[in-house]
Amino acid sequence: MTGGPRSQAIVEAYLRLFPSPADAELEHASTDDLRNRITAALIVSGHQLHDPVSNEGLRLLHALERRGQLTETDASRLHRIFIDERRFSEASQLQRRFPTLEAIPHLERQPIQATRTVWRVTPERALSQMDAPALEGAQLLVIGDPRCHFTVRAAEAIDDDADMGPLFEDSIWLVPPGPSLNMNAITEWEAQFPWAPLSLANQRAEWPQVDDWATPNFYFLRDGVVEATVVGWPKEGRKTELMEAAAKVGLRSNRLQP
């Protein structure tokens, strides 16, 4: 899960190598070519910001179905694209046809007022969509993944450090969109790190501040504008860099100092 120039290069390569075919071209394409296109769409879905690839994936799936060649593997690839793009209704429909695919939990939607939303796992293991926290004043946004051992190591170090810990009191921990919801990993994380509840990003395009969805990345903002970024978590940690970035935006125990 990345961003920036690398993602742009991947998207450009996809558009160059796999231009959207006309319906007649789909009917004459080989079955292997159709499957290669679905695989390519799955790869690029993690890098695309604005133009969803699931519509193209649906065309490919229907072409395979008309031939009687649709397999569970084909369906699984499209299902993962649907989850990445937060097309949960379509993912549920596909899962009902292929029950071994990841089930979509019950969905709840809170009243939405902002243009940016997140999903939270509820105690009942539903997914609840709600307004994303406002990016006001000095704020720390963490891009993290509960399955990423670098993210886990960072949280463990922060949890044990009297200097770093207070900086994360009101931080936002954001899980990038991806091809799986990883509900178990999220609930296990929140049991271990209750001070760092995870929100699942709805759409990458809703977070223009994030130029790299790799994990973990730490964005220090003032009124929604990024003023410092700390990337990754090596073996020696990033304490010095985090403390310096926090000072730059005026973050002290997550309070903006006068």
Give all domains of the chain, ordered by start, each with its CATH number.
4-97 (no CATH), 117-256 (3.40.30.10)
The residues pairing with 220 across neighbouring beta strands, listed in sequence order, are: 140, 228
pLDDT at 46 over 80: no
Question: Cα separation of 129 and 117, whole Å?
Answer: 7
pLDDT at 228 over 80: yes
H-state helical runs in the chain: 4-17, 23-28, 31-45, 54-66, 72-84, 88-97, 149-160, 183-192, 239-249
Convert the pLDDT of each residue in 5-45 to its tens digit.
777 788 888 888 888 888 888 888 899 999 998 888 888 88
pLDDT at 256 over 50: no
Residue with tokens 């009124």, as numbered in its chain: 223
The residues pairing with 140 across neighbouring beta strands, listed in sequence order, are: 220
Identity of residue 100: T
Convert the pLDDT of each residue in 102-151 to its tens digit.
999 999 988 888 789 999 999 999 999 999 999 999 999 999 999 999 99
Is residue 222 helix, strand or coil? strand
pLDDT at position 13 is 84
Question: Cα separation of 232 and 198, whole Å?
Answer: 18
CA angle, corner 127, sides to 171 and 135, nearest 5? Answer: 25
Please give the DSSP secondary-structure letter assigned to residue 258: -
Question: Cα separation of 169 and 164, whole Å?
Answer: 10
Prediction pTM value: 0.87
**In degrees rounded to 5, what are phi and psi of residue 199?**
-115, 135
pLDDT at 152 over 70: yes
CB 173 within 8 A of CB 256: no
pLDDT at position 254 is 41
